[in-house]
Structure formats: C-alpha cells, structure tokens
Amino acid sequence: MNKVYGAYLCTGCGIGNILDAEGLKTAASETGIEMQEHDCLCGAEGLALINKDIADQGVNTIVVCACSPRVMQDVFSFGKNTITIRGNLREQVAWVAGDAEKGDEFIQELGEDYVRMAVTRAQKSELPKPYLLENISKKILVMGGGIAGLTAATEAAKAGYEVTLVEKTANLGGKALGWRKMFPTAYPYSQLEQPNIEQLVAAATGSSKITVKIETEVARIGGAPGAFKVSFKAAGSKNEWDAPAKVTVDEQEKIDKGEKEDPNAGLQKYTAVDAAAEVYGAVVLATGWRPADVSEYAHLGYDGKKVVTNAEFEKLAKTGKVPAKVAFVQSPGGKDHDRDFPYCNSVTSMVALKQAQYVCDDNENGQAYILYQHIRTPGNTELFYKGMQQRDGVFMTKAAVTKVEECGSGLKVTAENTLLGDTLELNVDMVVLAAGMVPTTADAPTVNLAYRQGPAFLDLDLFDGYADSHFICFPYETRRTGVYTCGGVRKAETMEETIDDATGAALKAIQCIESADRGVAVHPRSGDMTFPDFFFQRCTQCKRCTEECPFGALDDDAKGTPLPNPTRCRRCGTCMGACPERIIGFADYNIDMIGSMVKSINVPDDDEDKLRIAVFVCENDAYPALDMAGMRRNKLNTLVRFIPVRCLGSVNMVWIKDAMSSGMDGVLLLGCRHGENYQCHFVKGSEIASKRMANIGETLGTLGLEPERCAAEQVAISDYDKIPGIIESFVESIKEMGPNPFKGF
C-alpha cells in the first residue's frame, strides 16, 4: 500500500479549551505528518474536510486526534481501503485535566505525546488483508440429540444451513424422553405442562436440511472453523485416535519419524487427511449432563430403591407409581449442613417442587416434604413456587438431614436446624436426593479434538467442568473457536431455557462460519481482518507461542515448527507477546509498532518533576474504564502515558525493556482480572502477563533497577472510580524511588 497521510485535530468537546492546537500540530509535524485542525471533526463540515482530502489528494492513512477510539467508529470509518488511527485527546487528556488551565505544560506535553503516538502508529500500520479459506464448508455439526441438540439443529436448518445431528444412543430426545411433566412456560405459571419432546424430534427428523446419525459418536475433530475434519465411529467402540484415518505410506513414515524425534511433534497423527472424514464449518456441543453421584453420603442411605435420585424418581413418576409420602432432600446435611449437593441449582429446586406435585396429584392424602438449605426459583418460576407453598400436602422447611434409616416398611428421616429450631423426624415411603447436573465435559474429552493442546478443553477444573471460554461476556463460546456449547453442558437449565440457549449457540455457529467466509475474526474482536504473521526463518521452535495460546490456534508441523490455524485465532496477540525472537506480528499491531510508540514519547532528562510512566492498557476492561473515568471528569495523573494493547498477553517484554532503556521511570500494566473469577476476554492473557512481569522484575534487579518500577494491576470495567487511585499510588511509589538512573543515556 502506497500510503498518503492526512492528520486531523478536533478542538471541540473542550479539547481546544485546555490544549494549544499549534503545539499539537507541531508535534505531528515533527513526527512526520502535517496536521489540520477543525472545531468539530465529527460534524458535516469536519467530515467533508477529510473526505475532500481523500478524493483530491488520495489520502488513505488518516490520523484523527479527537475523542476516544471506542466512540464514533462508524463516523470515522472511510472505507475498506483506508487506515484510520485515533488519538484520544478528549477522554484521556482534556476531560481528566482537573482544574488545570490552558497552557499547563504537563497537560500540553501529555496531549503532544498522544499525538506523536497516533502518528507513529499510523506510520507503522499496514492495511490488513483477510485470510480466506478455499472451499469453506457451511455445514454445522451438532453433537447430542436431546432438547439442546434438536433445537440447535432445527434452528440452523431454518436459517438455511445443512446440519448433521449426532446422537450416541438409539433414540433422539435425550433425558426428556423420561420426563412426566415439564415446568410451566406461560402465565400464570401455576400448571405443569406436557413435554413437547416428540414435536422437537419430529421437527428435526422431518427437515430435509438435517442428517441424523444415531448410535454414533465423534471419533475426532481436526482442522479449524470453516474446515473442521470430523470422523465418526459406532457408539461405544474403542476410541483410537488414528483408527478411522486413512493415510498413505509416506504420510505414516513422516508421522512415525516425527514422533520418535519429538512426541509433541506427532500432531500429524491427528491431523493427517482422513479420506473418510466429513468437513464442517462449525460445531455445536449439546451433549448434556448426568446426575451427580450421591452415594458418598453414607448417612443418607442411597440405594436406588427407597432412597433415589431426582432423575430416578422422575422415571418412576412417569410410570404412575408415586409413593404417598416422600421426603425431598436438597442438601447433604451432616458436616456439609449449610451446603447443597454438588451441581445443585435452580433447576434442581424446581424439580423438587414439580415432583412434590406428583405426590399430591397421585395420592389423595399425599404428603411431600421438601428439606432444603436454599430454594432457587428465578424469574417467572417464582410464581410456581408461591403456588406450591399454598398447596395442601406440601411441606417446606430449611433443615439439615442427619440420618435416613429403615423404619418398618418405610424410612425415617431425621433433620436438625429447622426453621422451628427443633429436631424433625419424618416417616416416609421414599427419599429423593437432589442430585445435581454434571456437564458431560467434566468427565471426558467429549469433543475429541485433534489439537496439539490435547483432545479436551483446558482448565475445566477451574470452571466445574463447564466449557465456556468467558461465561459472562461471551456465552456459548468455548476455548476452541468454532465449537459452541448449549444446554446442560454449558449450565444447568430448564427445558425452556435450553431451547433459548440452543438457538443462541446455533446463531453463534452461523456467525462463525460467515466470519470465516469473509476472513475476519468472529469474537471477541469481531470483524478484525488481521491474523498473526510468522517470520519462520528466525523461529527457534521454542514452542512458547503454541503453549501460551489460550485457544489452541497453533499446532506443530512435522518438524516442530508452529503451524498456524488462522480461523481458530481470536487475534489477542498472546503468541506475539510470548515470542522471544519477536517474529510474530499483525498488519496493524506488532512489536515494532508499539515499541516505536513507546519511543515516540518525549522523556525529559533534565527535570526530576517530569517523570514518565508508560501504562500498557488492555482494550477490553481497562481502557473502557479509563474512558469512563474521563467521562466522569475524574482527574488522572499527568505523568502517565496510556498505550492501548489488545490484551496484556500480547505485551512483549521487549517493550518494557525499551521503555526503561529510553529513560521511562516506570511501567504499569492494567488488565482484566484473572484467577477463579477471571474476567479476561482472552481467558489467560492477564495471568500470563503477570507471570512474565515476575521475570522482568528479576532482569531489572540485575541491572541495578528496582523491580518495583514495573507492576501489573487487575481492574474490572466497572473500576473507573478506582483507576485514578491505582495510578496515583503507582506514581507515588516511583517518585519515592526517584528518576530512572539510565535517563539521558
């Protein structure tokens, strides 16, 4: 691309009231681009100015120094053949200046540095070209033939996509086939309803767009979105990874040789072209759940006969053989008296209420006792709960069950800590234990992925076996791009919720396919045309990029060299941050670009009051929080310079070394929360960056610099009121240490 630059300064929204426009234009000129000013660039006249330069002068690389790049993105978009770079002078300069007046040198220097960084970014950016797959598949694979799978398949088919529905049993319908009734779905939410599973099965089997494979399991999934290679096997047969594969003698020799040299390099064993494999664009995982094991609670006496799980009781209820007196135990009691059974939830609470109604409906003098620690009935289901509270024959109390024992032909249930404060003894015919709903992904590598990182999703133990990559912000999405979850495998849900959930997962799968077809990222940087480019001539095969990628976007080839799968990539840049040789980059985001932006910051070497602190800011939580701080006119320390990054995982440690060697007095990383309650949009980015920072601290120590000059802080998007204090605290710690001793060298 032959670049023609145009730089534009907006003096509206208070920018011109605090910053000297001539000084800003001089900063741009000194960096290499002449800048024009206007008092309202987003208005008709301001946009006309830019468009005229595009038409008359062929401007195709545009620098807009005005408001935050998070706002007015459509307004300042000038076509697919142009590059637009934004410099944030409003939210992060003018609006955080506090009571400073025009001419304040600290504020002016802050604005000029942001102009320099914006111009430098424009100079280092290239127009991205989309990665386009040849012969992309738009078929969708749905794994699981229960409510979720049936719904996902039919909804995708209605949208015009071909679907293959795989079910390991001989019948479609899943656990719903054994249900007697389902929860109410319409006002006044007082009456149980007949299950509609037969209609769902009929809709799926009657669609010309849906191919059904029963008594079948997925043996292997390789490839990437738009080109997943899927092999199948008979349900229950031994799952040998390479059993279905048909490879040539030459291919097999390469595989064997690779495995001898490096066991990790044997990925070709999994990704060798399988002549029998079918190609799919996306996968919906709807393999459901299983009842949790309750046999460990010896004092409850589970035997599968008189003491049963809620799932077993439902099957019994469908036959019409419901005992007259039943105790529904919602928590294990004993030493865990204040807890529920593992994987208990609002659904198990509703199941107890539903099954209590069976007892009363089927027996003239039926008595149902619900002994709980927590009853959860969210939304409209609260109305059903209220109705059951008024029902004759249904008794509810908070209680910890201490013992279930034989008593004549029935059972005696002993409970303590009731609402009345007394010990309770109940004589019943049956006890029903509220076994929770364990997702199938908690037990085995359900998807059998042919990825370097293994056949299952990663770190499921942190999330109770659920496979979502970001439950809060990106529902349905897993750590493997193109594979989406719904129903019980994603979270415990009612039938109505499952249908909504499966529809969402089907739409996500469609979005993934269409994004891959356009060569853009699907999430969370939706529409991003960039993808990582590798300069393999300098690759040392250290495997850091493949190991640190949170999404398994990188495999290995036969020689152990990283093998990119661009449609798996979510464009976080973690691989770029991991690479010690700095050979990975994106067209508009790379090591040289951010490093050059850092170096463009003016670092005074003769004024101890003008310390300079670089703050690398995650674009997902920290940067929006900074903008919101500006919107609320929260004052920010003028010694810091914010540098937006895609994810803290993309921060290469060379940026920090460059910053310190150029005289910066400190470096701070602001990113998403990680750990058990993680909020990182790229799952592991903040955690990885924190580990890298520990190594940087050691390096600084060997150079005679205080390790405390570099730090990482976790912030949430809602921490806009806390961020000024976090930054101020770090600045004060740098002031105590004094200027960087390398300043001026």
pLDDT band, very low/low/confident/very high, at 698 (cuts 50, 70, 90): confident
pLDDT digits (tens, 9 = 90+) for 400-424: 999 999 999 999 999 987 777 788 9
What is the CA 126 to chain-centroid distance, rounded?
A: 28
CATH number for 140-289+440-518: choose from 3.50.50.60, 3.20.20.70, 3.40.50.1470, 3.40.50.2000.
3.50.50.60
**Statement: residue 445 has pLDDT above 80:** no
**What integer pLDDT is reported at residue 465 of this predicted model?**
80
Interval 264-283 mean pLDDT: 63
Of the candidates 408, 341, 7, 381, the residue with the CA atom closest to the CA atom of residue 193: 381
pLDDT digits (tens, 9 = 90+) for 24-60: 999 999 999 999 999 999 999 999 999 999 999 999 9
**What integer pLDDT is reported at residue 683 of this predicted model?**
84
Which amino acid appears at position 690 of this protein? S
pLDDT band, very low/low/confident/very high, at 443 (cuts 50, 70, 90): confident
3-state secondary structure 395-446: EEEECEEEEEEEECCEEEEEEECCCCCCCEEEEECEEEECCCEEEHHHCCCC
- Beta strands 468-470 and 474-478: pairing type? antiparallel
How high is the mean pLDDT of the chain? 90
The DSSP secondary-structure symbol of 203 reads H
Of the candidates 188, 179, 175, 125, the residue with the CA atom closest to the CA atom of residue 593: 125
pLDDT digits (tens, 9 = 90+) for 446-458: 788 999 888 888 7
Q: How far is CA 448 from CA 132, 229, 271, 456, 680, in A?
A: 26, 12, 12, 6, 26
**Statement: residue 477 has pLDDT above 80:** yes
**What integer pLDDT is reported at residue 745 of this predicted model?**
64
Of the candidates 241, 704, 57, 99, the residue with the CA atom closest to the CA atom of residue 49: 57
Residue that is written with structure tokens 């002031």 in the block: 735
**Statement: residue 742 has pLDDT above 70:** yes
Q: Are 623 and 636 in contact (CB under 8 A)?
A: no
CATH number for the domain whose boundaries are 293-435: 3.50.50.60
Interval 432-447 mean pLDDT: 88
CATH number for the domain whose boundaries are 589-745: 3.40.50
pLDDT band, very low/low/confident/very high, at 695 (cuts 50, 70, 90): confident
**What integer pLDDT is reported at residue 240 of this predicted model?**
45
Instruction: Compute the distance between CA of residue 38 and CA of residue 250 in angstroms, rounded to an integer.
Output: 66
The DSSP secondary-structure symbol of 489 reads G
More confident residue, 712 or 259: 712
**CATH 3.40.50 placement within the chain:** 1-127, 589-745
pLDDT digits (tens, 9 = 90+) for 52-91: 999 999 999 999 999 999 999 999 999 999 999 999 999 9
Does pTM top 0.85 for this prediction? yes
Q: Are 585 and 568 in contact (CB under 8 A)?
A: no
Element (H, E) at 669: strand 666-671
pLDDT digits (tens, 9 = 90+) for 140-199: 999 999 999 999 999 999 999 999 999 999 999 999 999 999 999 999 999 999 999 999
Q: Are 4 and 60 in contact (CB under 8 A)?
A: yes
**What integer pLDDT is reported at residue 270 of this predicted model?**
42
pLDDT band, very low/low/confident/very high, at 462 (cuts 50, 70, 90): low
Instruction: Compute the distance between CA of residue 55 and CA of residue 61 in angstroms, rounded to an integer.
Output: 13
**What integer pLDDT is reported at residue 110 of this predicted model?**
97
Residues 220/221/227/233 CA torsion (nearest 10 deg):
40
Q: Which two tokens stand for residue 672?
A: 């998403």
Q: What are phi and psi of 387, to 5 degrees?
A: -65, -40
**What integer pLDDT is reported at residue 201 of this predicted model?**
97
**What integer pLDDT is reported at residue 248 of this predicted model?**
42
More confident residue, 475 or 591: 591
Say how many residues make up the chain: 745
The maximal CA–CA distance of the chain, rounded, in angstroms, is 97
**What integer pLDDT is reported at residue 239 of this predicted model?**
52
pLDDT band, very low/low/confident/very high, at 741 (cuts 50, 70, 90): confident
Instruction: Compute the distance between CA of residue 157 and CA of residue 502 in angstroms, rounded to an integer.
Output: 13
**CATH 3.50.50.60 placement within the chain:** 140-289+440-518, 293-435
**Statement: residue 710 has pLDDT above 90:** yes
**Statement: residue 490 has pLDDT above 80:** yes
Q: What percent of the chain has pLDDT over 70?
A: 92
pLDDT digits (tens, 9 = 90+) for 222-257: 999 999 999 999 987 765 443 333 334 444 445 444
**What integer pLDDT is reported at residue 286 of this predicted model?**
96
Question: Domain 1-127: which topology?
Answer: Rossmann fold (3.40.50)
> Angle at which helices 197-205 and 147-158 pack, to 10 degrees?
40
Q: How far is CA 360 from CA 322, 323, 366, 501, 542, in A?
A: 9, 10, 5, 32, 67
Instruction: Compute the distance between CA of residue 557 and CA of residue 560 in angstroms, rounded to an integer.
Output: 5
Which amino acid appears at position 9 of this protein? L
